[in-house]
């Protein structure tokens, strides 16, 4: 009994240290974009300049590749910049895509030169690390959140999860697949041919997989087939729970936030640290979105660390490269928005 008396507070201290480590990691990552006073870094201001947004009387000297200013902001503040890139102040310089469109369907409302594209790639990779692999930082997790996506990304994410499992360096326990209502899209190669292709370039098929499978109607069913095809032999069906979330009216699909709420409702997860699997450039955005969702749900006892494989840029100039930049800027707009929302929730909690 005396041993149990001392073990309980020790366990709380260990959990607290893990939470502190993960939150410290998040805070360090946010400083890549905004300083401790939540004023934009020079790298953010350079991106704004390249997309036609300037800061009034800013000390940073404008670059020759900056286009004519379409919007001038009063300050480097997180809130004002977030409003700008959301398109609230001038939609002609918006980074964020409409909610009723998928990332791969929308295009930026402004054009970019090859030099501007090259500089945006350099900033997002070297200053923000949005293309680098993000690895797990602790050894034991309560479970894994596998975040749903398109067919290509799902395969990349499962290959990464398989690699983590194969390393035998982590305790993962249960796997929760967070997916939802989204029709598959042939324009991004979500076809029967691609789904059944063992030479897909991302992940191999299990030798015991008995295909072909009926072509699925939605993202969740597609992920079930990919798991059947390619999951690690250690990942047993009884330890994998699929969480299917319906989309809200006016949205193209279920979002990271709504899938987290459904996970909490359906699974009532234990307190602790969970590992989520994504891929770049979405890792940091999804970590913030999950953190916000947990705060809103009152689950401060759960922390989620998002990891995933890195990204390589398209080498050939053209439509694919423009789409890459569109996705990167949209992702940054979402990162800034989540930072504002978390700031609001933190103030409410303190009060």
Lowest-confidence range among 59-73, 143-157, 265-279, 303-317? 303-317
- Rounded to the nearest 5°, which phi and psi values hold at 244? -100, 125
Q: Are 132 and 164 in contact (CB under 8 A)?
A: no
Contact between residue 138 and residue 273 where contact means Cβ atoms under 8 Å apart: yes
Nearest residue to 227 (alpha-carbon basis) of 171, 176, 281, 166:
176
CA–CA dist 309, 283 (Å, integer): 9
Q: Computed from CA positions of residues 48, 54, 60, 61, in that sequence, does the dihedral angle turn out positive or negative? A: positive
**CB neighbours of residue 339 within 10 Å:** 19
Residue 23 has pLDDT above 50, yes or no: no
pLDDT digits (tens, 9 = 90+) for 259-295: 999 999 999 999 999 999 999 999 999 999 999 999 9
Confidence class for position 317, pLDDT limits 50, 70, 90: low
User: Distance between CA atoms of 69 and 60, rounded to whole angstroms?
Assistant: 15
| % the chain with pLDDT above 70 | 89
The whole-angstrom separation of Cα 107 and Cα 326 is 6
CA angle 229/181/269 to nearest 5° reads 80
Tokens (6 digits) for 269: 């997860």
Lookup: tokens for 72: 């001038």
Give yes or no for residue 318 having a pLDDT over 70: no
Reading phi first (left if > 0) and then psi (alpha if -120 to 50, else beta), residue 267 is in alpha
The arithmetic mean of pLDDT across residues 57-74, rounded, is 96
Residue 242 to residue 203: CA distance in whole angstroms: 21
Q: Which helix (H) or strand (E) holds 344?
A: helix 319-350
Percent of residues, the chain, with pLDDT higher than 90: 77
Q: Which of 200, 43, 36, 34 has the alpha carbon at shortest distance from 127?
A: 43
Q: Is 168 left (phi over 0), alpha (psi -120 to 50) or beta?
A: left
Q: Looking at the predicted structure, is the pLDDT value of residue 7 above 60?
A: no
pTM reported for the whole predicted model? 0.89
Instruction: Report residue 39's pLDDT band, with 50, 70 and 90 as the boundaries.
Output: very high
Contact between 272 and 302 under an 8 Å Cβ cutoff? The reply is yes
* Closest-CA residue to 95 (of 323, 329, 324): 329
Domains of the chain from N-terminus onward:
31-131+321-351 (no CATH), 143-311 (3.40.50)
| pLDDT at 128 exceeding the cut of 70 | yes
Helix %, strand %, coil % for the chain, to 5? 45, 15, 40
What is the number of alpha carbons within 13 Å of residue 32 lying toward its C-beta? Answer: 17
The closest of 347, 330, 331, 342 to 97, measured between CA atoms, is 330
* HEC assignment per residue over 121-184: HHHHHHHCCCCCCECCCCCECCEEEEECCCHHHHHHHHHHHHHHHHHCCCECCEEEEEEECCEC
| Least confident segment among 13-22, 57-66, 276-285 | 13-22
**Residue 14 pLDDT > 50, yes or no?**
no
Beta-ladder partners of 344: none
Of 283, 276, 277, which Cα lies nearest the Cα of 311?
283
């Amino acid at each position: 009994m005396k041993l149990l008396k001392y073990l309980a507070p020790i366990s709380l201290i260990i959990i607290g240290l893990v939470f502190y480590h993960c939150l410290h990691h998040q805070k360090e990552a946010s400083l890549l974009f905004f300083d401790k006073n939540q004023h934009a870094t020079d790298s953010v201001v350079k991106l704004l300049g390249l997309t036609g947004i300037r800061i009034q009387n800013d000390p940073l000297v404008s670059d020759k590749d900056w286009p004519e200013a379409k919007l001038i902001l009063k300050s480097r503040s997180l809130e004002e910049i977030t409003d700008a890139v959301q398109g609230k102040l001038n939609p002609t310089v918006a980074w964020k895509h409409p909610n009723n469109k998928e990332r791969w369907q929308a295009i930026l409302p402004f054009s970019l030169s090859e030099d501007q594209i090259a500089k945006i790639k350099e900033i997002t990779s070297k200053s923000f690390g949005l293309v680098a692999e993000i690895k797990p930082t602790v050894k034991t997790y309560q479970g894994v959140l596998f975040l749903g996506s398109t067919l290509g990304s799902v395969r990349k994410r499962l290959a990464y999860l398989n690699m983590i499992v194969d390393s035998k360096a982590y305790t993962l326990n249960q796997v929760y697949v967070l997916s939802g209502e989204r029709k598959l899209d042939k324009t991004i190669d979500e076809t029967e041919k691609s789904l059944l292709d063992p030479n897909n370039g991302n992940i191999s098929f299990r030798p015991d997989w008995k295909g072909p499978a009926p072509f699925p109607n939605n993202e969740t069913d597609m992920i079930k087939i990919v798991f059947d095809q390619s999951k690690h032999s250690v990942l047993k069906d009884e330890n994998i729970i699929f969480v299917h979330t319906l989309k809200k009216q006016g949205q193209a699909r279920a979002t990271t936030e709504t899938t987290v709420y459904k996970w909490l409702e359906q699974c009532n997860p234990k307190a602790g640290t969970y590992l989520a699997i994504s891929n770049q450039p979405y890792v940091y955005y999804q970590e913030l979105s999950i953190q916000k969702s947990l705060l809103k749900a009152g689950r401060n006892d759960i922390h989620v660390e998002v990891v995933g494989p890195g990204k390589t840029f398209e080498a050939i100039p053209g439509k694919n490269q423009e789409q890459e930049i569109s996705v990167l800027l949209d992702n940054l707009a979402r990162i800034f928005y989540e930072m504002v929302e978390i700031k609001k929730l933190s103030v409410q909690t303190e009060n």
